[in-house]
Structure 1
Amino acid sequence: MNKMLTCPLILVDGSSYLYRAYHTLPLLINSAGEPTGAIYGVLNMLRSLILCHQPTHIAIIFDAKGKTFRDKLFSSYKSHRRPMPDNLRDQIEPLHKIIKALGLPLMTISGVEADDVIGTLARSAEKSGHHVLISTIDKDMAQLVTPNITLINTINNRRLGPKEVYDKYGVPPELIIDLLALMGDSSDNIPGVPNIGEKTAHAILKGIGNLKQIYRNLDKVATLSFRGAKNIAEKLKLHKDKAELSYLLATIKTDVKLNTTYDDLRIKPIETTTLYDLFSQYEFKRWLENAKNGSWLRDKKKIIQAHQSEKNNNKNMLDIAQKATDFLTTQNYKIIIDDVTLCALIASLKTAKIFAFNTHTDSLDEITGNLVGLSFAITPGLATYIPVSLDSLYVPDIVERVNYYNALEKLKPLLEDIYLLKIGQNLKYDQSLLARYGIKLQGIAFDTMIESYNLDSSHGSYDLAHLSARYLNRTAIFLKNIKRNKEYQEISHKITFKQDPICNLEAVDLILQLHLKLWPEIKKIAILKKVFTEIDMPCVPVLSRMERTGVLINRNILSKESKNLGDRLYELEKRAHKDAGELFNLYSTKQLQCILFKKQKLPVIRKNLGGAPSADKEVLTKLAAKGFQLPSIILEHRSLAKLKGSYSDKLPQMINPNTGRIHTSYHQAVTTTGRISSSNPNLQNIPIRSAEGRRIRHAFIAPQNYKILAADYSQIELRVMAHLSGDKMLIAEFNAGKDIHCATAADMFGIKLEEVSTVQRRDAKAINFGLMYGMSAFGLARQLNITHVAAQSHIDIYFARYPQVLEYTKRMHQYAFHKGYVETIEGRRMYLPDIYSRNLVRRKAAERSAINAPIQGTAADIIKRAMISIDTWLMQQKTILVRMIMQVHDELVFEVHESAIEQSTKKVREIMEADLRLTVPIVVEIGTGRNWEQAH
């Protein structure tokens, strides 16, 4: 194994520090009455830690506000914990300000816990050759321990490596999760298996192995030599679901998506003025002098020595050079540092006509990340890396600076050549990144992420590591078979790298090998090849352009809406407290359970795994439907809080300072049906039916002299259903231009078309779409709040009206069971592995997907084709009078100059309605306005 870098990365469990400081120290306040005890305690612990270890890189990680994915897994997770005391909560923001003023990197990531961020950073740093020291008292962290990842107890300063973990917990680090899954963890309310304590859990793990091995060998449990062994197997079998849930809850994620590099965690200079002011405000008088001279954190001599040591490590290529040497030897990878070799490479790439390439950046954000290098591969096992940024290199003055900093200028014609075919992984990112450097990437032919997604969209993960493991049996991107390489040794004396190029070299090699594995499989199926070459790959540059264009946001509108939502949330909270007769935390499951079911005696709809009455969203919705006021208030409060947090508060923070716009990220390989999704922000989730959602859309505006044009497919999925089912009545109604929902309602309720009320049309709409999604009578009854008998009657009437729709649902069930997949009209395949599941819930869900996936997938193919055709038209126009800026569900949104509204409306409708012919007309509804909402 390679020698680890000498400077450790220290990861601090800030939340652990916070609670320890609060409960250990007395209540301290300054003269202004502000609590300061927790701030003082955390800072004192941080100072001791840093003075002791003198790190150059560190991260202090705190839990973010709000729920995490574990709360979704188990509503009672940590529910027994009391809400954070107000006088502790009031200290968090000032503490964060002080930590930042100290130059210490601070992180809070929503949706996960601090543990998950720490786990991700630790594993990533270890892979890059760094030793990691995690400062915490949380026993869950023991699962992260390796020879290169060590825990340090913040109470007794004791270090825990693999041996110490075993000595303390009785199992090695790799069995910590299994131990918690069996015995549970009362501190986090992880249930574990009832009646299995620590001793029993140890005995089972030592006797059989991990959780999977235990459940494969339940018959062996009775043979183990501990009291009650004969009865434990039955308990394990009975509570398998709790064990598996507990395992998920106890597992620290190590794959959280972070836009953070190792260099981002370097300790920055202290902001002495800010720190002095903060120390003065909170009356930390004994630290004022240290704050003034910048010596609060550590001795200046030691920090200079530490940075000098790191610089020497880089100059001598201690670890990176060793790793690169090993890898270059075993894989025949090269790094170019002269013009002659660069020109030779360009000539060979031109001759090859097709090659894999990969960009190397210092960030995952294509809008703000900087290009560090490029790697190329023509033949499997061979790859070449070209550093293209002066910032990516350290070149000693004694060495003549070779003229390859203009490498991008030499590579530009190659990258822009439409006839030189490129293979990549997530080429949309590469295209957007290179566009910032004046390079129009063309010849985009093969994207391994999309190739694998086309072959099977049910896997859910299409990053390079997962694809390499799945298709190439390469489970890690690390070095093996250490040897020396003279060529690289010569290079290492001249040049060192801030970002390690080795993983980038192997990445481009893996991309090429993946393509050679995946493309032959796609070519075997002509219709699948057509989807790939005519829809998904041409969509890549379209999405890239849309992302780069972005959308304009009005901050003032969002600011007013945030205030409005804040006022409404306050009023709802007061109403909730009044209805409950006491103050309580609206987000505390335990408090809510007590008020709803013990105090107000509301009916228990369902119990959770712990046996307590469930108070999740589904239960609250049912109780609200029965007329109970408090559940209705809670639901409204949560809905508005989510809207405020996700959009009115967050969108202004996401405006790019360089462009003044928001740049969402579009994804082709997320949904199973081919639908495009978005993130940062997620445009698909902005409510369109609520007044609050519409006010958010008011903030999406057009620039001066432009208008927003919104083009929306009308009832596209119902039209696709008519085509796929061939139902004569449904086709006739669409061809006659009837309102399908009104027609359905008239038949359901036995009335004339003109007599249909708004409520009746709404119910008919729920039926039309519900049955298209395979909804049962039970589901329909719940949605419409009617009896099961009434719901079944509606379904019977519906299928009597549209009998071939019923035949279609049965046909799709049989097709999916026979083939294992269903297809869109274009031929896109959507695999349904759960169609064979013994689990009834999973199998039924797969059967519903068999009905809907071809419909939703076809609708996705239709809008993708339309986007490609519209983009082609826009590129031919070579004008900025029309810009495609958003794709949301079945809608395309444009910025159109006022002088081009009429022409654009006509052309957009023409393209969108003509791209795929169905047996019923495709109808596009188009509107314009100064903002997105007005365009509807």
Structure 2
Amino acid sequence: MSSDNKTLLLVDGSSYLYRAFHAMPDLRVSPGDPDSPATGAIRGMINMMQKLRKDVRADYAVCVFDAKGPTFRDALYPEYKAQRSAMPDDLRSQVEPIHEVVRLLGWKVLAVPGVEADDVIGTLACMASRQGIAVIISSGDKDLSQLVDEHITVIDTMNDRRRDLAGVEAEFGVPPRLMVDYQTLVGDAVDNVPGVPKVGPKTAVKWLLEYGSLDALVARASEIKGVVGDNLRQSLDWLPKGRALLTIKKDCDLMDYIDGLPAMESIAIGGQQTDALKVFYDKYGFKGLVRQIDSESTSPEMIGGPDGRHAAARSTTSTTALVSSNEPGLFDGPVFLQTPLADRATNLQYDTIVTWQDFDKWLAKIEAAELVAVDTETTSLDEMRAQIVGLSFSVTPGEAAYIPLTHDYPDAPVQLPRDEVLARLKPWLENRSKPKLGQHVKYDRHVFANFGIEVQGYVHDTMLESYVLEAHKPHGLASLAERHLGRSGINYEDLCGKGVNQIKFNQVDIAKAAEYSCEDSDQTLDVHRVLWPQIEASEKLRFIYELEIKSSETLYRIERNGVLIDAPTLAKQSGELGVRILQLEADAHELAGQLFNLGSPKQIGEIFFAKLGLPIVKKTPSGAPSTDEEVLEKLAEDYPLPAKILEHRGLSKLKGTYTDKLAQLANPKTGRVHTHYAQAVAITGRLSSNDPNLQNIPVKTAEGRRVREAFVAPPGCVIASADYSQIELRIMAHISGDTTLSLAFHDRMDVHRATAAEVFGVATDQVSSEQRRYAKVINFGLIYGMSSFGLARNLGIDTKAAAAYIDKYFQRYPGVKRYMDATRQLAKSQGYVETVFGRRLYLPEINSPNGPRRGAAERAAINAPMQGTAADLIKLSMNKVQQVLDSEHRGTKMIMQVHDELVFEVPEAEVEWVRTEIPRLMAGVADLKVPLLAEIGFGPNWEKAH
């Protein structure tokens, strides 16, 4: 065999092991025992390496890992990769076993001190390329694109991306020979290598195509105009070092690690060491892999289940698929299937229903199923206006059906009539005893409600399962499928396009739509089968998950109710704000002594620092004086122009975001605005409101508070606002167990006045208003982990005095200090903290080597349990209140949830009932060590109800 038809396969092992670890982070030798050694990365690595070897024919193969210790880049630039988090302990413990098992699988393993895995890959790739050997590099790292030539190709199997000569240029806009120049200009944030400030991919591509190379660009840097030209010229001294950091070495000395170079025989791909593998698999609890070796008669296609079906993606773009089974003894936890997806596609049954006979057959299936995954395809992401295009169902792994209903394109096949299909499905959909599953079920509830169907029986939501288990990670179905199943599916944009050319789903070919929608339902069912057992095994997580499921239904009701908007009031406010904004602009021009754009940081900077000589508070990364919000607020303390600009910005945002827009967002028939509450966003459990955002109306200003006057009650009703009093301080008293702080709440004291008395050593009736203000800042500041520097800045005092106040506070409240110290340590040891009710709040940066990031994570560790517990309490409250409203058939409607506040639309006849019962219900949802207190107000609009 000549070298022309031989292949070298190089694997970026460091990239692989992280992917394997994040795919199965909780797999252990003893499932369910957190102290048992972690094995998820090992198991994932085995399956990915086996799959890659099966899919890519190679004569030579090397798996390359980063070696321990610094590299030449660290000596060149000490800040290189400085912001990267340390490797998790559970992954670190698996690195050596991974090296061992990869060798046993027949691969040469390399980890060369002093250089990175990329440099070893670059050296081997170029060595082989010079000999005419084809090289395939398997990695998701875009940096390796600089190695691509006519012999070297990079494949990213997880994302179905092929980076050959054409692929690199199509993806990045420049050929591989210019990739180092491109990377040098844009920098690498992941590795902490700066580029040219304000130069992104578009500018870098434009320059390189125009000038031909970075060297040619540097030689003509004086020709580049504008701010980016200035930034380029200011970066000229840095660029050589940046390029050196980003250039992959191609001449590493590997003689001590590979014998026989350049013959390459020592890296010829080898056979598996079967006996040693069995010992290894047994040691780490991989019984299924032991049986796989022992049983030559069992084909790979059968490992997914007794009928040959399995929870695998139809997509042929994925390289690995991860499944879980409830069948005893079939799997040892989630495992990667070894069957190529192209082969497995024949085992999947995805039906398209266009006849009543097929419809009746599937209706019988879902009627008899223990759990059905349901997915809707619609015309819009706006759930209140979305029209149904089709529906899909999945009842068992690998089996799903799609019912096209309103696809509308030339030559579209005849479809079953939408209204009749929905009418026949309605009894099942509205049957609470028929368990249903979805991904983001609140959206689907709205879609069905648009057609008069109130779906009952949603018992699971994979988005919320993910949110409860791993709040700090993405919760979209594509991310979940890739992370937990190793599956990648059809992308929405592959079907519909993107941007101005994007078509609606009803114009998608039915065959493609069916494949896409069936895959969604199938994946949803599979993801649930992986995530639910983990939640079910933990009493705390199960409580939080059930809370989220109930909250989803309550939020659906709140969103459906909407809130009535007074459009004339908003129009009047917009007019008044417009006049005030113009006056502020004129005032600013007068103070500056010239006309300028109040929205231009460049012009503001020139006026502040060049013309007026204002002090420079801080600088941008490029070294220019900053004019950001923080700087304006600081300068506004002493100078009138920054104060005018700040006020102008605030009022302009208020006008553009609320007074101009709210009425436009209202339903033209009802005059009501229907916000969307996102559950799976904040890691603390707090809700996020958008379209429109009703939680960020700036109520600290008079103009912001006036916006709430436009949220009104209809005739015969009033608005009621109920919120918890000092909820986070009460939670602090409960969590810390501090006797003095708890006593203040039990005695119904003004807690800020009580704190002032403790800190300043005076009787409570002698506390001045200024002392109470100081105490309030201290109380809330310490909850958020405020330092003495931050406290000094907030109070306008020196740092030494602020530190003395904090010391005195901790002397009087020692339980709070113990809580803070213990929580920091707990967070560092386990990577997360918990709310009172068991919600896990993950802190990925808690052990970061980067000081500021670690400090921010430590502050979050202290505050997150309080914010998270407050979020849990308001969800418990709204669920309880909605349950009572329904059971007593009340006319009162819950119309908003804003942080710790519930807002109601109350018939006048129910005002007294609401005044008594709502605070009582809210205060009674949990039994803390201190009493909960909810207060309520009423008025014709939201503002007057406060």
TM above 0.5, one fold?
yes
Q: Is the 8 A contact 2:778 2:791 kept in 1?
A: yes
Q: Which residue of 1 aligns with 2:633?
A: 621
Q: Which residue of 2 aligns with 1:787?
A: 798
Q: Distance in 2 between matches of 1:409 and 1:928?
A: 42
Q: Which residue of 1 aligns with 2:476?
A: 463
Q: Which residue of 2 aligns with 1:181?
A: 186
| 1:798 pairs with one of 783, 806, 809 | 809
SS in 2 for 1:683: coil
Matched, 1:414 2:428: yes
Question: Taking structure 1 as reference, are residues 759 and 931 closer, same or farther at Cα in structure 2, changes over 3 Å only?
Answer: farther
SS in 1 for 2:479: helix
Question: Taking structure 1 as reference, are residues 761 and 649 closer, same or farther at Cα in structure 2, changes over 3 Å only?
Answer: farther
Question: Taking structure 1 as reference, are residues 669 and 231 closer, same or farther at Cα in structure 2, changes over 3 Å only?
Answer: closer
Q: Distance in 2 between matches of 1:435 and 1:174?
A: 52
TM-score by length of 2: 0.64
| 1:341 pairs with one of 342, 355, 358 | 358
Q: Distance in 1 between matches of 2:587 and 2:238?
A: 54
Q: Which residue of 1 aligns with 2:338?
A: none
Q: Is the 8 A contact 1:727 1:803 kept in 2?
A: yes
Q: Distance in 2 between matches of 1:475 and 1:840?
A: 37
Amino acid of the residue matched to residue 922 of structure 2? M
Q: Which residue of 2 aligns with 1:599?
A: 611
Matched, 1:883 2:899: no
| 1:836 pairs with one of 844, 847, 867 | 847
| 1:450 pairs with one of 460, 464, 485 | 464
Q: What 5-or-longer segments of structure 1 have no aligned partner? A: 1-148, 150-159, 205-227, 240-319, 480-494
CA displacement 1:413-447 (0-9 Å, x = unmatched): 11111111111000000111111211111111110
| 2:819 pairs with one of 808, 816, 838 | 808
Q: Is the 8 A contact 2:438 2:460 kept in 1?
A: yes
CA displacement 1:446-503 (0-9 Å, x = unmatched): 10100001001112x2111122222122234269xxxxxxxxxxxxxxx964983331
Q: Is the 8 A contact 1:374 1:386 kept in 2?
A: yes
Q: Which residue of 2 aligns with 1:582?
A: 594
Q: Which residue of 2 aligns with 1:897?
A: 907
Q: Is the 8 A contact 1:185 1:192 kept in 2?
A: no
Matched, 1:372 2:400: no
Amino acid of the residue matched to residue 926 of structure 1? I
| 2:545 pairs with one of 532, 539, 564 | 532
Q: Distance in 2 between matches of 1:822 and 1:501?
A: 43
Matched, 1:473 2:486: yes
Matched, 1:763 2:774: yes
Q: Distance in 2 between matches of 1:166 and 1:524?
A: 44
Amino acid of the residue matched to residue 877 of structure 1? E
Q: Is the 8 A contact 1:162 1:172 kept in 2?
A: no
Q: Is the 8 A contact 1:392 1:499 kept in 2?
A: no
Q: Which residue of 2 aligns with 1:722?
A: 733
Q: Distance in 2 between matches of 1:333 and 1:174?
A: 43
Amino acid of the residue matched to residue 530 of structure 1? F
SS in 1 for 2:622: coil
Q: Distance in 1 between matches of 2:655 and 2:405?
A: 43
Q: Distance in 1 between matches of 2:202 and 2:624?
A: 14
Q: Which residue of 1 aligns with 2:759?
A: 748
Amino acid of the residue matched to residue 564 of structure 2? L
Question: Taking structure 1 as reference, are residues 883 and 391 closer, same or farther at Cα in structure 2, changes over 3 Å only?
Answer: farther
Offset, 1:668: 1.0
Q: Which residue of 2 aligns with 1:504?
A: 517
SS in 2 for 1:792: helix
Q: Which residue of 1 aligns with 2:81?
A: none
Matched, 1:929 2:942: no
Q: What 5-or-longer segments of structure 2 have no aligned partner? A: 1-160, 188-194, 218-235, 248-314, 316-341, 493-507
Q: Which residue of 2 aligns with 1:696?
A: 707
Q: Distance in 2 between matches of 1:776 and 1:527?
A: 33
Q: Is the 8 A contact 1:425 1:464 kept in 2?
A: yes
Q: Is the 8 A contact 2:379 2:388 kept in 1?
A: yes
Q: Distance in 1 between matches of 2:172 and 2:424?
A: 59
Q: Distance in 2 between matches of 1:628 and 1:238?
A: 45
Offset, 1:756: 3.7
Q: Distance in 2 between matches of 1:527 and 1:699?
A: 41
SS in 2 for 1:893: strand
Amino acid of the residue matched to residue 183 of structure 2? D
Q: Distance in 2 between matches of 1:177 and 1:876?
A: 64
Q: Distance in 2 between matches of 1:467 and 1:647?
A: 35
Q: Which residue of 2 aligns with 1:546?
A: 558
Offset, 1:646: 1.1
Q: Distance in 1 between matches of 2:773 and 2:754?
A: 12
Amino acid of the residue matched to residue 414 of structure 1? W
CA displacement 1:376-435 (0-9 Å, x = unmatched): 001111110112347589667xx7x76675111111111111111111000000111111
Q: Distance in 1 between matches of 2:769 and 2:837?
A: 36
Q: Distance in 1 between matches of 2:172 and 2:511?
A: 39
CA displacement 1:768-814 (0-9 Å, x = unmatched): 11101111111111222221112112211211221110111001001
Cα RMSD between the aligned structures? 3.5
Alignment length (residue pairs): 650
Q: Distance in 2 between matches of 1:177 and 1:734?
A: 61
Q: Which residue of 2 aligns with 1:27?
A: none
Offset, 1:600: 1.2
SS in 2 for 1:574: helix
Q: Is the 8 A contact 2:759 2:812 kept in 1?
A: no
Q: Distance in 2 between matches of 1:573 and 1:452?
A: 48
Q: Is the 8 A contact 1:162 1:173 kept in 2?
A: no
Q: Which residue of 2 aligns with 1:433?
A: 447
Question: Taking structure 1 as reference, are residues 200 and 391 closer, same or farther at Cα in structure 2, changes over 3 Å only?
Answer: closer
Question: Taking structure 1 as reference, are residues 405 and 499 closer, same or farther at Cα in structure 2, changes over 3 Å only?
Answer: farther
Q: Is the 8 A contact 2:168 2:174 kept in 1?
A: no
SS in 2 for 1:834: coil
| 1:352 pairs with one of 362, 366, 369 | 369
Q: Which residue of 2 aligns with 1:363?
A: 380
Offset, 1:641: 1.2
Matched, 1:232 2:240: yes
Question: Taking structure 1 as reference, are residues 417 and 632 closer, same or farther at Cα in structure 2, changes over 3 Å only?
Answer: same
Q: Is the 8 A contact 1:820 1:835 kept in 2?
A: yes
Offset, 1:237: 5.6
Moved over 6 A (4+): 160-168, 172-177, 185-193, 195-200, 228-231, 325-328
Offset, 1:659: 2.8
Question: Taking structure 1 as reference, are residues 577 and 759 closer, same or farther at Cα in structure 2, changes over 3 Å only?
Answer: farther
Offset, 1:516: 0.7
Identical residues among aligned pairs (%): 45
| 1:861 pairs with one of 856, 872, 876 | 872
Q: Is the 8 A contact 2:569 2:710 kept in 1?
A: yes
Question: Taking structure 1 as reference, are residues 813 and 416 closer, same or farther at Cα in structure 2, changes over 3 Å only?
Answer: same
Q: Is the 8 A contact 2:564 2:672 kept in 1?
A: yes
Matched, 1:388 2:388: no
CA displacement 1:864-913 (0-9 Å, x = unmatched): 0111111111222334x200000001000000000110012212112101
TM-score by length of 1: 0.65
SS in 1 for 2:617: coil
Question: Taking structure 1 as reference, are residues 572 and 514 closer, same or farther at Cα in structure 2, changes over 3 Å only?
Answer: same
SS in 2 for 1:685: coil
Question: Taking structure 1 as reference, are residues 919 and 186 closer, same or farther at Cα in structure 2, changes over 3 Å only?
Answer: closer
Q: Which residue of 2 aligns with 1:654?
A: 665
Offset, 1:671: 0.5
Question: Taking structure 1 as reference, are residues 799 and 567 closer, same or farther at Cα in structure 2, changes over 3 Å only?
Answer: same
Q: Which residue of 2 aligns with 1:686?
A: 697
CA displacement 1:518-561 (0-9 Å, x = unmatched): 1111122221112112x111111100011011000111111111
Q: Is the 8 A contact 2:559 2:674 kept in 1?
A: yes
